[in-house]
Amino acid sequence: MDDNVYQVETDDLSGRFLLFYIGETTYSLPLTHVIEIINIQHITKIPNVPYYVKGIVNLRGKVVPVSDVRLKFNQPERPYDDKTCIVVVLISDMNVGLIVDSVAEVVSIERTNMAPPPTAGHRGGESYLDSVSQLNGKVILNIDCDKFFQSDLAELFPDSD
């Protein structure tokens, strides 16, 4: 597909992370969850869902829901541009698209280079961080996919935990 910016290889993915930007902040997603990255495309809105769930897109005949990470992180909305990407991730056997400002690169982060996020000082909101890393002088916030989707999946699989 032409609009694929990047197609992920399926070799050893553990310890490797996809970096993406929301504003000036760098976040990372474990590559084991990432299926592919596509350009932003027409999103069909679904009524009466949380504000950060933007709707559904057609991914080669498959209907995939998309969430806006910016909104999920309680940051102001901004218009999509040609750098805006949808990162399709696999969570609980479902494909879900994540709208991010732009994607950067794939990096390897050692487990030793991951500091746990603070447990105190939350402002009552949810935290989706797995850990914080520093790489080449850059701070990277590593996202925990399970935590990220916890509220979306909570009622889907009530028996699971």
Partner 1 sequence: MTTIDPGMEALLETFVYESNTMLEQLDEIMLESERAQNISHENIDSIFRIMHTVKGSAAMMGFNGISGLAHSVEDIFFIIRETPEKLGIVFNALFDLVFQTSDFLKREIEKIQNGDFEESDPGALVALLHQQAAIMKGEEAPAESPIPATAGAAAAAEKTVEGAEDFHKVRVYFEDDCQMENMRAFMLLNQISHCCDAIESVPANPEADSSLCADIIRDGFLILFKPTETFDDVIKIIESSLNVKSYEVIRDEAAPPAKESAGPAAAGPGEAKTGTAPSGGSGGQTPSPGGKSGSIQSLISVNQVKLDQLMDLVGELVTAESIVASNPDLKGLKLDNFHKSTREMRKLTDELQDVVMSIRMVPLTATFQKMNRIVRDMCKKLDKKVELVTYGGETEVDKTINDSIADPFMHMIRNAIDHAIESPEERRALGKPEIGTVTLNARNAGGEILIDVADDGRGLDPEVLLNKARNNGLLIKPESEYTEKEIYQLIMMPGFSTNTEVTEYSGRGVGMDVVRKNVEKVGGSISIHSARNEGTTFTIKIPLTLAIVDGMNISVGSTVFTLPITSIKQSFKISDAKQVLYNTDGAEMILLRGDCYPIIRLHDLFGIDTEKQDMMEGIMIQVESANTIAVLFADELLGEYQVVVKPFPTFFNKYSLKEQGLSGCSILGDGSISLILDVGNLMSAQ
Residues that bind partner 1 (CB under 8 A): 42, 44-49, 56-58, 61, 63-65, 94-96, 152, 155-156, 158
Strands (E), the chain: 4-7, 16-22, 25-30, 34-39, 53-59, 62-68, 85-91, 94-100, 102-108, 129-135, 138-143
Least separation in angstroms between residue 32's CB and partner 1 is 19
Q: What are phi and psi of 146, to 5 degrees?
A: -65, -45
101 and 84 Cβ atoms separated by less than 8 Å: yes
Least separation in angstroms between residue 38's CB and partner 1 is 13
- When the beta carbons of 115 and 154 are compared against partner 1, the nearer one is 154
Distance in angstroms (rounded) separating the CA atoms of residues 137 and 155: 40
- When the beta carbons of 1 and 120 are compared against partner 1, the nearer one is 1
Least separation in angstroms between residue 21's CB and partner 1 is 24
Alpha-carbon separation of residue 120 from 110, 116, 124, 141, 150 (angstroms): 25, 12, 10, 17, 20
Least separation in angstroms between residue 79's CB and partner 1 is 15
Least separation in angstroms between residue 7's CB and partner 1 is 19
- When the beta carbons of 58 and 108 are compared against partner 1, the nearer one is 58
For the chain, the farthest-separated pair of C-alpha atoms sits apart, in whole angstroms, at 46
- When the beta carbons of 68 and 152 are compared against partner 1, the nearer one is 152
- When the beta carbons of 99 and 107 are compared against partner 1, the nearer one is 99
